Amino acid sequence: MPQRVSLLFGVHAHQPVGNFPEVLADAHLRCYRPFLQVLYRYPDFHFAVHFSGWLLDYLIKHYPEDMALLRRMVKRGQVELFGAGDTEPVLAVIPNRDRIGQIKTFSNKLAAKLGQRPQGAWLTERVWESTVVPALADCGIRYVIVDDYHFLCAGKTLTDLNGYFTTEEDTRQLDLFPISESLRYKIPFSPVDETIAYLESLADNNPSGTHIAAIYFDDIEKFGIWPETYQWVYEKGWLEQFIQAVLASSKISTQLYSQYHAAEKTRGVVYLPTVSYIEMNEWTLPAQSANTYADLVQQAKISGWYEHKKAFLRGGIWKNFFSRYPESNWMHKRMLGLSARLAKLPAKQRSREMQQKLYESQANDAYWHGLFGGLYLPHLRRAVYSGIVELEALLDHCGARLAYFSEDTDLDGIEEAYLQNGILQAIIKLDSFASICELDAYLLKHNFADTLRCQVEHYYQKIQPGERQLSNHETTGIASAHDRISYKHEISVEDIVADDHPRSLFIDRLDGSFISYQSQPSATKGNHFQSENTPHPIHKHITLNDNQLQVAYRFADTMKQAFSTEINLAMPSCDGMGGRYIYQGEIPSGFGQLLEITQLTEITLDDDTLGGTVMLKTSSPVTLCAYPHFSVSQSESGFEKIMQATTLLLEWPITAQELIITLEIKVKGNR
């Protein structure tokens, strides 16, 4: 009998919490449904699948016939279900109590809805820290899958990585399967015959006689959603041809992970460093460091030693995203604070709704950015903040907070002042800008300060301003998203300039220069600041009154300069059809267009997606210049411009001692 290799084939299906229904429908049409339909026709082809919890719920609700197909494949022993955290959190960055809760919630869901409790688990973005071992083991997970790169970083060689290994932490054991990078890049991008030849070569080059495994587990989106893959995988028949060739081979057999795990022994103990997949090494680093790292990698490839020594040329870790992006760090620390508040509640006061809102705020996608991460996508951040704001309201109902307090929430050495009245919450960064870094409307479940500043990204060096589309390199198969350079929008030099200030609310300038403030003691409810760098003091006072945020400025009567304030508002419709300005009963433009008005005292921002309005009022006429704030990022579809906020620039020649600006926030239909 010829030596055989066991193909352990797995796919991971995920959509971020809060993704657009049209995106989900397209993913189902071009990927999830055809993939399951093809696999169903081949019951002898065993495979593993992980559908993230939120996506699984969505598919069961909207496409029950396809999920019934999956359940039948589970029942006939063709499919192994893999667990994870329910909302696809990065387990390493949430508290251990929430790791356990997330994993158990999802395992129970799989058992109830698809008829199988998982033994294995998918690690979000393959982020490994040994601290996650106890929670996984305590939840009944026996093995997880990580990249072969993780093992190379621990000193293993590729020839070692044809089975599973064992690790331990705090007396708990967990087995680890190494995913083959070679297979990740071949499937489904290389022609079938090349992929089969590679798999059969593993059997041919196994003189030891041990039962070796070829381990594949990667995003199902490569099978239909990535550019060109639908035509390649389904219309040209790659997937069906691959399955047929595997089943026809005398050297390849398909097995479930659970079957291989039960039949084979561990290859020994291993301790992995904190690491994710290899591309993440670059993505987690700040631009200058990422460019240095990328240059070193390129030099290593040119010199011919990269493949042999890449494990020792390592970049950053996943948690670097919190230090790279203040917006990500702020969300994360707000989530941790609410998790701690929930944990302190008596058990009888905790509800399933509270737990679900916490878990939604832990969904990974909005916290990071690389080729796929969604920090740059406002609707994904909005989903996280929706969970945060809803959970905070529920917790406040159980135990009221102070109307005013301060703390250093994001651990940056600068405190934030919290003003809240149960309807609105304004969080003021107590730095020189004295601006509002979070503005929550509890009835709308929305943070109006949820914007993203522009910063230099390492991939900007690939952008050729003015280009729309570059051709891909010719290949015998199709190009991976990692190898593409394409443009969804025309990018100019001005589009990739970094901001010199946070994109918050009420950034003030005098004659075009930023005003620097110092916090002042205030006997009244609110927060009071005084300028430090102006010829005469400017006083800034921030208060809440029911559904109104009021910012009052007081000037010396001798000042004759031009004052301006910049208000960046996260309006969910962005530059879509649902967002519009209303001025004197007319609609002059949408949020995506430039709008200039002189002698303005009142204007309304109306947003269908939000289901609410923001009315801006000024005590004296001002000049308004409103424009969309865009950022430039990359995705698997190419470089793109994404609207992050609508920027309202109010300019006022100081003509009186006081200027009061009010933002009145309403739910549509409420007076």
Q: How many C-beta atoms surround the C-beta of residue 359 within 10 A?
A: 26
3-state SS assignment for residue 191: coil
Amino acid at 19: N
Interior/surface letters 521-557, b for 16+ CB within 10 angstroms, e for the rest: eeeeebbbbbbeebeeebbbbbbbeebbbbbbbbbee
Task: Report CA-CA distances (Å) from 50 to 15, 202, 427.
Answer: 12, 26, 39
125 catalytic per annotation: yes
Closest CA to 376 of 390, 366, 362, 389: 366
SS (H, E, C) 550-617: EEEEECCCCCCCEEEEEEEECCCCCCCCCEEEEECCECCCECCCCEEEEEEEEEEEEECCCCEEEEEE
What is the β-pairing status of strands 47-51 and 5-13? Answer: parallel
Amino acid at 361: S
What 63-68 contacts at long range (C-beta under 8 Å, 24+ apart), as own/partner pairs, is 63/28, 63/32, 63/33, 66/28, 66/32, 66/33, 66/36, 67/113, 67/114
Cis peptide before 188 (omega within 30 of 0): yes
Neighbours of 585 (CB within 10 A): 5
- How far is residue 464 from each of residues 336, 467, 468, 470, 642, measured CA to CA in Å? 40, 6, 9, 10, 18
First to last CA, the chain: 80
146: which strand partners? 178
Q: For residues 257 and 245, is the Cβ–Cβ distance under 8 A?
A: no
Continuous segment of H or E residues that includes residue 39 = helix 33-40
Provide the token pair at 20: 């657009």
Measured CA to CA, the distance from residue 420 to residue 389 in angstroms comes to 12
219 is catalytic: yes
- Residue from 66, 88, 98, 125 carrying the catalytic annotation: 125
Strand partners, 168: 173
What is the C-alpha to C-alpha distance for residues 539 and 532, in angstroms, rounded to an integer?
10
- Whether the Cβ atoms of residue 183 and residue 214 lie closer than 8 Å to each other: yes
Task: Catalytic residue, from 169, 219, 431, 495: name it.
Answer: 219
Radius of gyration of the chain (CA): 27
Distance CA 335, CA 340 (A): 9
Structural contact between residues 565 and 556, judged by C-beta atoms closer than 8 angstroms: no
Q: Which residues pair with 622 in a beta bridge?
A: 600
Give the Cα separation of 448 and 450 in Å (integer).
6
Cα–Cα distance measured from residue 576 to residue 252, given in angstroms and rounded to the nearest whole number:
51
Active site (catalytic) residues: 125, 219
